[in-house]
Structure 1
Amino acid sequence: MSLASSSSAGTYELDRAHVLHSWSAQADVDPMVVERAEGVHVWDADGRCYLDFTSQLVNTNIGHQHPAVVQAVREQAEQLCTISPACATEPRSRAARLIAERTPEGLDKIFFTNGGAEAVENAVRMARSHTGRHKVLSRYRSYHGATTTAINLTGDPRRWPNEQSGAGTVHFFGPHPYRSPFHSRDESEECRRALEHLEQVIELEGPETVAALVLETVPGTAGIMPPPPGYLRGVRELCDRYGIVYIADEVMAGFGRTGAWFAVEHYGVTPDLIAFAKGVNSGYVPLGGVAVNEAIASTFDHRAYPGGLTYSGHPLACAAAVATITAMDEEGIVDNAATVGAEVLGPGLRELAERHPSIGDVRGLGVFWALELVTDRATKEPAAPYGGSGPVMKRLVAECAEAGLLIPTTYHRVHVVPPCTITAQQAREGLAVLDGALDTVDRTLAEQHG
């Protein structure tokens, strides 16, 4: 046995002996041992190279091991690794300024957290403190994090075993033209009926009790569903009418993922709060935060904000954020995401849908796309059950990996979410591998359903 294989075997054994994996039945876990990563590629311990269409957890927006970010973290570690958040530091101050320069006008204060779930938790805390109300609305088919408030706001099955303390959280149906809960005939009707439904929920819950509405601008894990034109403007109008704080969850959609700094730019709306994480520094060091407008920030001018974190604005994480945002600017990474999405991924995925009867729907923007796999286009029966997976989805992932492509699936969906740095040629290479794996899906489903 070579030294490399011996080391990887030891790593695997230690993982299985001592690591508890998230969202998994532990007896079924079989993790890949990763040796290194660079750009849009990952290498396992056996030296096999994979094109990363996952961006890991849709967070490595600038790709792996970007030299400028690695160098920034190294230099910051040599100067100041950590300090109390009560102190002002150059990396935190610079990161806050760079983020505020890219948020919609008026969201100029930044509260830093360790990640996305804490960002949502603190955004809700700010809204409740500001309004003096308690209830928070969120949509079904959403994901907001795994901490207490965030998981209860979540609208997918991961919420179910965690609903012991969800007081004040209320769910509503958001627009989903492909699987319309409103039996709509087109996007315009879907938008109108979804807004009518939301207003009815607000009225039935009591507007004077509702502190905030939390909405992923483009829902991510729940299905990458860009909202129909006019929906978010309607949400903004409802929030204004009833004095509700509008919280945009851009943890996954922000920092270039949709081909804009923040996805709300596509829809011409300005939320009161934006929760962010992931792409802010591509996950090189854990970081998240909340961008806060003046009205809510001023609530805490002369009264203490009732929250805080030991690592809020951690110097290493903020140094990584400064380097990431700077690199995204200097290298045109956000524009690249928009271009690859419009010219390669969007057209390429729609071409796959023309050839593969297992694809029921294609949707997305930037480098943020989903395919819904179905057993029958007419009935739209999912290729795997809601809240679960199935053999056909597992086989697709395995065939892609065998051909050198890492691709994520959620229930019956395939998500196409490469780093924002991916080139047109690399995107085409990944689509070609996916094309071959979908041939197997088509045959398997045809055999199963005769």
Structure 2
Amino acid sequence: MTTPVTNDYVRALDRQHVFHSWSIQGALNPLVIAGGEGCRLWDHDGMRYLDFSSQLVNTNIGHRHPKVIEAIKAQADSLCTVAPATANLMRGEAAKRILARAPAGFSKVFFTNAGADANENAMRMARQFTGRDKILSAYRSYHGSTGAAIVATGDPRRVPNEFARGHVHFFNPYLYRSEFHARDEAEECARALHHLRRVIECEGPAAIAAIILETIPGTAGVLVPPEGYLQGVRALCDEFGIVLIFDEVMAGFGRTGQWLALDNFGVAPDLITFAKGVNSGYVPAGGVMISQPIAEFFETRFFPGGLTYSGHPLAMAAIVATLDAMAEEGMVDNARRIGQELLSPGLQDLARRHALIGEVRGMGLFWAVEFVSDREHKTPLAAPVIAQMKAAFQARGLLTFTVENRLHVVPPCIVSPAEVNEALAILDEVIDDFSRRCA
């Protein structure tokens, strides 16, 4: 007799056999998901959800896009896997499409399995290219959980994992909680750049291989940099011969209403890391876009890195189909338009009406709502309250992404006006309820 598939059965199976990331295992009660399509997901017991988390901010084209599914199936019929040292049509086509979205002067792509190992290899390239060792990164950042990526990460999860060498952190701009006592964006920018210059000078410019920055820090709070900041970082890197790496793992491929987040700022780095949105996570993939000078450096020098599944054919087919579908269906334009016309005004309206919201910030479909218990003192709303709020959203059929005292509003790039209005109504209802509880 076949056991009926229910939420309880799947959850029990999971808790018996699966070890989860970033968790106390015995405290888990995981959400069960059985299927999905577009911006919707559902479980085995009939509950449906509107996905405003894009899972981990990666399903930019939504769930089960037919063109991508068909491309994966077609590739599986032809070739499921092949060694990375070979040449493969789909790998070349994927690289060609990615580079078409890069700034001028980028010529190669090194493929990885995810964003963490993309950042690992970008830092490796920078060290080889410069002959230097140190890597500078921001305290408010997340670059992955592998060896050097987690140490480059600034948030506290790095602390039990600090095994890699040569990492130094600095404060990036965040006017709402300024480390520089700034009064406006211009002052925050100027003081943050002065701080970074002093860190470079004190660490020894000739010792620094790279600065790695999320173009817009995501998990750290969707911290849109002030005007002139990224240009200033670029100028510091040029002055001191430091490689500039932009981590576009979360912010890239449509999330901000541009193909890459850097397109919003007119600044080109030397290396660009990506993953997540490049194929919406349908098959794990990531990579490094490499500028011409660094690519030429390795034409005559050995690159000491590699991955068994670099440029995996199924992942490459998913990239080609995803980028083609995004272009053909105007998904990036949709993300920009929906963000400007509906999501931004809707979230700003919530902030005006609910004292629990301290600040709303973002662009495109990449937004953070920062909750506070006291607006005047900007006191972060307590983590248990955020957890209860997240559960309340979920009970009403809205899946959300929360970090510390923040709600990150990050729907797929295909989201419709009706779905945004549905989500805003749920947010309004729950925040209003918690506002009364916390009064």
User: If the length of structure 2 is used for normalisation, what is the TM-score?
Assistant: 0.99
CA distance in 1, matches of 2:44, 2:216: 35
Q: What residue in structure 2 maps to residue 406 of structure 1? A: 399
Q: What residue in structure 1 maps to residue 234 of structure 2? A: 236
Give the C-alpha shift of residue 13 in structure 1: 1.6
CA distance in 2, matches of 1:432, 1:141: 31
Q: Partner letter of residue 400 of structure 2?
A: I
Q: What residue in structure 1 maps to residue 147 of structure 2? A: 148
Q: Partner letter of residue 415 of structure 1?
A: H
Q: What residue in structure 1 maps to residue 167 of structure 2? A: 169
Match of 1:216 among 211, 214, 224: 214
CA distance in 2, matches of 1:21, 1:407: 19
**Counterpart contact for 2:142–2:155, Cα < 8 Å:** yes
Deviations 1:378-413 (A, max 9, x none): 0000002xxxx22x1112111111111001110100
CA distance in 1, matches of 2:401, 2:275: 20
2:387 aligned with 1:394, yes or no? yes
**Counterpart contact for 2:107–2:295, Cα < 8 Å:** no
CA distance in 1, matches of 2:431, 2:167: 39
**Counterpart contact for 1:63–1:420, Cα < 8 Å:** yes
Q: What residue in structure 1 maps to residue 349 of structure 2? A: 351
Q: What residue in structure 1 maps to residue 105 of structure 2? A: 106
Deviations 1:263-320 (A, max 9, x none): 0110000000000000000000000000000111111111211100000000000000
CA distance in 2, matches of 1:191, 1:299: 33
CA distance in 1, matches of 2:138, 2:145: 16
Deviations 1:64-108 (A, max 9, x none): 000000000000001000000111111100000000000111112
Match of 2:359 among 332, 357, 361: 361
Alignment of 1:82-121 (within 5 A): 82-121=81-120
**Counterpart contact for 2:7–2:43, Cα < 8 Å:** no
Moved more, 9-18 or 235-244: 9-18
What SS class does the counterpart of residue 274 from structure 1 fall into?
A: strand
Alignment of 1:250-269 (within 5 A): 250-269=248-267
Match of 1:328 among 326, 340, 344: 326
CA distance in 1, matches of 2:437, 2:227: 37
Deviations 1:189-221 (A, max 9, x none): 000000000000000000000000000000000
Give the C-alpha shift of residue 444 in structure 1: 2.3
2:36 aligned with 1:53, yes or no? no
**Counterpart contact for 1:175–1:228, Cα < 8 Å:** yes
Q: Partner letter of residue 18 of structure 2?
A: V
Give the C-alpha shift of residue 7 in structure 1: 4.4
**Counterpart contact for 2:214–2:247, Cα < 8 Å:** yes
**Counterpart contact for 2:137–2:154, Cα < 8 Å:** yes
CA distance in 2, matches of 1:312, 1:342: 37
Give the C-alpha shift of residue 441 in structure 1: 2.1
What SS class does the counterpart of residue 34 from structure 1 fall into?
A: coil
What SS class does the counterpart of residue 34 from structure 2 fall into?
A: strand
Q: What residue in structure 2 maps to residue 122 of structure 1? A: 121
CA distance in 2, matches of 1:358, 1:7: 37
What SS class does the counterpart of residue 290 from structure 2 fall into?
A: strand
2:431 aligned with 1:438, yes or no? yes
**Counterpart contact for 1:375–1:445, Cα < 8 Å:** yes
**Counterpart contact for 1:396–1:440, Cα < 8 Å:** no
Match of 1:416 among 392, 401, 409: 409
Give the C-alpha shift of residue 11 in structure 1: 2.1
What SS class does the counterpart of residue 181 from structure 1 fall into?
A: coil
Give the C-alpha shift of residue 2 in structure 1: 11
CA distance in 1, matches of 2:113, 2:7: 30
2:65 aligned with 1:66, yes or no? yes
**Counterpart contact for 1:175–1:190, Cα < 8 Å:** yes
**Counterpart contact for 2:216–2:222, Cα < 8 Å:** yes
Q: Report the aligned-residue RMSD.
A: 1.1
Q: Partner letter of residue 302 of structure 2?
A: A
Deviations 1:118-156 (A, max 9, x none): 000000000000000000000011000000100001011
Change (3 A) 1:210 1:253: same
Q: What residue in structure 1 maps to residue 17 of structure 2? A: 18
Match of 2:292 among 294, 318, 328: 294
User: If the length of structure 1 is used for normalisation, what is the TM-score?
Assistant: 0.96
**Counterpart contact for 2:6–2:45, Cα < 8 Å:** no
2:175 aligned with 1:182, yes or no? no
Match of 1:306 among 304, 307, 310: 304
Deviations 1:2-52 (A, max 9, x none): 964x44433222210111000011111111221110000000111111000
Deviations 1:413-439 (A, max 9, x none): 011000011011111110110111101
What SS class does the counterpart of residue 78 from structure 1 fall into?
A: helix
Q: What residue in structure 1 maps to residue 191 of structure 2? A: 193
Q: What residue in structure 2 maps to residue 203 of structure 1? A: 201
CA distance in 2, matches of 1:310, 1:422: 35
CA distance in 2, matches of 1:152, 1:58: 22
- The percent identity for this pair of structures is 58
Q: What residue in structure 1 maps to residue 76 of structure 2? A: 77
